[in-house]
């Protein structure tokens, strides 16, 4: 399975008219936002076993490379699994680095449906990796 990385963070409004409606709150919320650290744009390859993924424990293998195809080494990759419907309890796991840029571990899908994985890690030079990978169609056994 090949995932398309989607940068996280806080999206701006798409239409200015709506923004005007809540201008006061924007000042409050926006004014207090923390500054985000610059994130690395990573190419991600995800393999889940069983495939297609099923509810329960699954083996997870993730390969991270940069734009030039060089492995991105972060030591340990933090993974948060969640569903795309609000109201779901996330699952967390840490993947160990089996070889440079290759991360392996397990994750438990607690419910059937569409999931996404949030990947976070920090490179040796301090740059942050924050990526989202969709895992659609987790099936009930």
Partner 1 sequence: MKGCSSLPPETASQLPPTDSAHRFDLLRTPMIGPFLQWRKSRMTLQALVFIVSVIMAAHAFWGPQLAPKNLGALLTWVHFRGLVVLAVLLAGNFFCMACPFMLPREIARKFFTPRWNWPRRLRNKYPAIALFVGVLFAYELFDLWGDPWWTGVLIVAYFAAALAVDAVFRRASFCKYVCPVGQFNFLGSTMSPLEVAVRDPDTCTRCSTKDCIRGRRFDVEYERPSTANADALPIIQRGCELALFQPRKVGNLDCTFCLDCVYACPHDNVGLLARLPGETLAEGRSRSGIGSLNDRSDWTVLIIVFVFGALLNAFAMTSPVYVVEQTIAQYTGLTVEWPILGMLFFAVLIVEPFVLLAAAAVCARLASKRTDTVWSIINRFTRSLVPLGFGVWLAHYGFHFFTGALTVVPVTQHAARSLVGWSVLGAPQWQLGGLPESVVYPIELGFLGLGLLGSLLVAWRLAADFAPLRTLQAFAPWACLNTVLFASACWILTQPMDMRGTFLGG
Q: Is 98 in the site for partner 1 (CB under 8 A)?
A: no
Contacts with 25 (C-beta within 8 Å, 6 or more apart), sequence order: none
For residue 115, what are its two tokens?
A: 């999931």
Residues in contact with partner 1, shown as a per-residue x/- string from 37 to 76 under the rule CB under 8 A: ----------------------------------------
Q: What are phi and psi of 38, to 5 degrees?
A: -60, 135
Number of residues forming the site for partner 1 (CB under 8 A): 40
Q: What are phi and psi of 111, to 5 degrees?
A: -155, 150
User: Site for partner 1 (CB under 8 A): which residue of 1, 39, 88, 123?
Assistant: 88
Q: Return d(Cα 141, Cα 138) in angstroms, integer.
A: 9
Binding site for partner 1 (CB under 8 A): 8-11, 13-14, 18-19, 21-22, 25-26, 29-30, 32-34, 82-90, 92, 111-114, 116, 118, 132, 134, 136-140
């Amino acid at each position: 399975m090949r995932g398309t990385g989607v940068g996280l963070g806080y999206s701006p409004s798409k239409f200015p008219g709506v923004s005007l409606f809540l201008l006061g709150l924007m000042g409050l919320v926006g004014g207090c936002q923390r500054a985000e650290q610059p994130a690395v744009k990573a190419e991600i390859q995800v393999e889940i076993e069983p495939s297609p993924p099923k509810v329960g424990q699954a083996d997870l293998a993730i390969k991270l490379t940069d734009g030039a195809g060089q492995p991105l080494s972060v030591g340990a990759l933090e993974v948060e699994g969640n569903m795309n419907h609000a109201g779901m309890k996330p699952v967390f796991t840490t993947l160990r680095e089996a070889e440079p840029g290759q991360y392996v571990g397990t994750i438990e899908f607690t419910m059937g449906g569409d999931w996404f994985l949030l990947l976070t890690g920090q490179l040796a030079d301090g740059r942050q990796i924050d990526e989202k990978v969709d895992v659609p169609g987790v099936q009930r056994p």
